[in-house]
């Protein structure tokens, strides 16, 4: 299809931090295709930090998670027919209705049949069924570009800032991101303690990163009380853009299935990520400099692609794609709980030895 002439574009990207980061290859592709266009991005207010300093974006428009009817109407009025085209990446009703008002040309991801939302196909210009089982999320987004003749660019754009967080000069360190929004994605604190001590034995300072959520701060502080004073806790002390700069200069990053791990993969440093219930085909960190239309990772097994080393918990049920063994987000995942720290420590040693030669 011949590339369309577009001057004003809106991209709708919700709802979580990781989702917003995984939308940046589509945004970057639009910027490359339309260097002089106005490209605005609509996200939830608590995820806009993932777009800090993004040079591809003209304006970030924010919505509230629990917006009142009046607030939704105000947002609709703000975007009403202000654009030539809108790319709606989420398949939920809210993103769909915003896209209806934003532009006459609507390129949307839609729910797969026969799920609720089949009717949305009749109200959009072009659509792709969202595949939540066999296609990586980045590649899923980029399929929308094929519908309007735009060449995809496989590049995640992390947030950036000139306000760097100060760390001691010449410090050799690794980032440990041990918390996720949901318990079923987390590893045990004793395993994190074993990894931190292993790093210290190798002359590498463990730096813990995390949000300022009270339960997350308490979880990390419990680990810190069992470590020497040389370990560093940065949870809740940096912006996401500052964390990006810290990650870029780390020896490596170890994290669970969460937005910060996607961010680390985008910087190009070695990333060890721990997966349990989640399907890595769809939600693995997207490897740095990966330039293919095929999924980077398979559904089963521990794997390595470019800078991403994915360690998967064991079990015939893995990945079950369920929310923990008790089927709720605050339950544990046995496959992760039983993933031994020794596997991670052996990989850490291998990566650091390779970097030294």
- Taken in order of first residue, the domains within the chain and their CATH numbers are 8-146 (3.40.50.2000), 173-356 (3.40.50.2000)
Q: Which two tokens stand for residue 255?
A: 């994290």
- Rounded to an integer, the average pLDDT of 187-205 is 96
Give the pLDDT confidence score for residue 320 in this predicted structure: 87
Give the pLDDT confidence score for residue 1 in this predicted structure: 59
- Rounded to an integer, the average pLDDT of 128-149 is 94
Q: What is the pLDDT of residues 9-47, one digit of tens each?
A: 999 998 889 999 999 999 999 999 999 999 999 999 999
Q: What is the pLDDT of residues 312-356, one digit of tens each?
A: 988 888 898 888 777 777 788 888 989 999 999 999 999 999 887
pLDDT at residue 126 above 90?
yes
> How many residues does the structure list for the chain?
357
* Cβ burial, residue 334 (10 Å; 0-12/13-18/19+): middle
Give the pLDDT confidence score for residue 122 in this predicted structure: 92
Higher pLDDT, 77 or 322: 77
**DSSP string of 222-259?**
HHHTTS-TTSEE-TTTS-HHHHHHHHHTSSEEEEESSH
- Rounded to an integer, the average pLDDT of 165-175 is 94
- Rounded to an integer, the average pLDDT of 91-100 is 94
Q: What is the pLDDT of residues 282-317, one digit of tens each?
A: 999 999 999 999 999 999 999 999 999 999 988 888
C-alpha–C-alpha distance, residues 200 and 196, integer Å: 6
Q: What is the pLDDT of residues 47-59, one digit of tens each?
A: 999 999 999 999 9
Contact 88, 109 (CB under 8 A): yes
- Rounded to an integer, the average pLDDT of 162-182 is 92
pLDDT at residue 104 above 70?
yes
| Single pTM value for the model | 0.93
Average pLDDT score over the chain:
93
Q: How far apart are the first and last CA of the chain?
A: 48
CB half-sphere exposure, 225, CA atoms < 13 A: 7
């Amino acid at each position: 299809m011949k590339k369309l002439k577009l001057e004003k574009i809106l991209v709708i990207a919700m709802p979580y931090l990781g989702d917003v980061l995984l939308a940046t290859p589509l945004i970057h592709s639009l910027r490359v295709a339309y260097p002089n266009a106005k490209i605005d991005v609509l996200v939830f207010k608590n995820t806009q930090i993932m777009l800090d300093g993004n040079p591809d974006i003209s304006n970030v428009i924010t919505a509230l998670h629990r917006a009142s009817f009046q607030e939704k109407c105000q947002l609709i009025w703000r975007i009403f027919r202000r654009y030539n085209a809108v790319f709606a990446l989420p398949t939920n009703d809210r993103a769909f209705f915003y896209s209806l008002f934003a532009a006459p040309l609507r390129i949307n991801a839609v729910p797969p049949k026969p799920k609720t939302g089949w009717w949305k196909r009749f109200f959009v210009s072009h659509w792709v069924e969202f595949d939540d089982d066999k296609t990586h999320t980045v590649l899923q987004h980029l399929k929308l570009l094929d519908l309007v003749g735009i060449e995809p660019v496989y590049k995640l754009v992390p947030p950036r800032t000139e306000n760097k967080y100060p760390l001691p000069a010449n410090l050799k360190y690794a980032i440990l991101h041990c918390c996720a929004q949901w318990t079923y994605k987390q590893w045990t604190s004793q395993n994190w303690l074993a990894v931190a001590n292993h790093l210290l034995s190798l002359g590498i300072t463990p730096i813990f990163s995390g949000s300022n959520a009270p339960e997350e701060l308490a979880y990390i502080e419990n680990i810190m009380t069992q470590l020497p004073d040389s370990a560093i806790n940065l949870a809740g002390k940096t912006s996401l853009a500052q964390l990006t700069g810290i990650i870029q200069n780390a020896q490596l990053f170890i994290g669970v299935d969460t937005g910060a791990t996607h961010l680390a993969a985008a910087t190009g440093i070695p990333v060890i990520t721990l997966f349990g219930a989640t399907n890595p085909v769809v939600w693995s960190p997207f490897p740095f400099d990966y330039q293919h239309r095929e999924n980077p990772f398979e559904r089963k097994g521990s794997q390595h692609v470019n800078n991403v080393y994915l360690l998967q918990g064991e079990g015939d049920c893995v990945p079950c794609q369920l929310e923990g063994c008790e089927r709720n987000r605050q339950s544990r995942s046995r496959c992760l709980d039983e993933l031994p720290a020794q596997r991670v420590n052996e990989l850490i040693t291998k990566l650091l030895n390779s970097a030294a030669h």
